[in-house]
């Protein structure tokens, strides 16, 4: 992908996966994705918060106000049971797609 852009649709999956380990606020989610991707993936606020809102409306996460480690008022997002189920479904779909692409790349 040019300039290491995140593939379309990947952000929702990455957010759900990062939240599987526990509740995080928005900035921490973006930082965790960045660190876990070896500093390749960057999550911009303009993409992060609308995606979090969509996930929240779908019932895949809950949000509650709290105080960050820097003493700021922030929303902490937590995966719901429905979110865990969606994460499993998205991971399975991703794996099928990944295997199909790898098959074409190996045999074409």
Enter the DSSP assignment of 44.
Answer: -
C-alpha closest to that of 75 among 89, 61, 87: 61
What's this model's pTM, rounded to 2 decimal places?
0.90
Are 78 and 28 contacting, i.e. CB atoms less than 8 angstroms apart? no
Residues 72 and 68: their CA atoms lie apart, in Å, by 5
pLDDT at 37 exceeding the cut of 60: yes
Specify which residues 73 forms β-bridges with. 67
Number of domains in the chain: 1
Structure tokens at 92: 């399975």
E runs forming strands in the chain: 24-25, 61-67, 73-79
Residues 98 and 107: their CA atoms lie apart, in Å, by 14
Structure tokens at 60: 């895949």
CATH, residue 79: 1.10.10.10
The reported pLDDT for the residue numbered 3 is 55
pLDDT in tens, 43-86: 999 999 999 999 999 999 999 999 998 999 999 999 999 999 99
């Amino acid at each position: 992908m040019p300039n290491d852009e995140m593939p379309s649709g990947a952000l929702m999956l990455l957010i759900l996966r990062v939240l599987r380990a526990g509740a995080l606020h928005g900035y921490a989610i973006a930082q965790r994705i960045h660190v876990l991707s070896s500093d390749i993936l960057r999550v911009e606020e303009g993409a992060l918060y609308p995606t979090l809102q969509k996930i929240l409306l779908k019932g895949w996460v809950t949000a509650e106000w709290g105080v960050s480690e820097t003493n700021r008022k922030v929303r902490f997002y937590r995966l719901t049971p429905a979110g865990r189920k969606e994460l499993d479904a998205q991971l399975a779909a991703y794996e099928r797609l990944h295997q199909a692409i790898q098959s074409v790349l190996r045999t074409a």
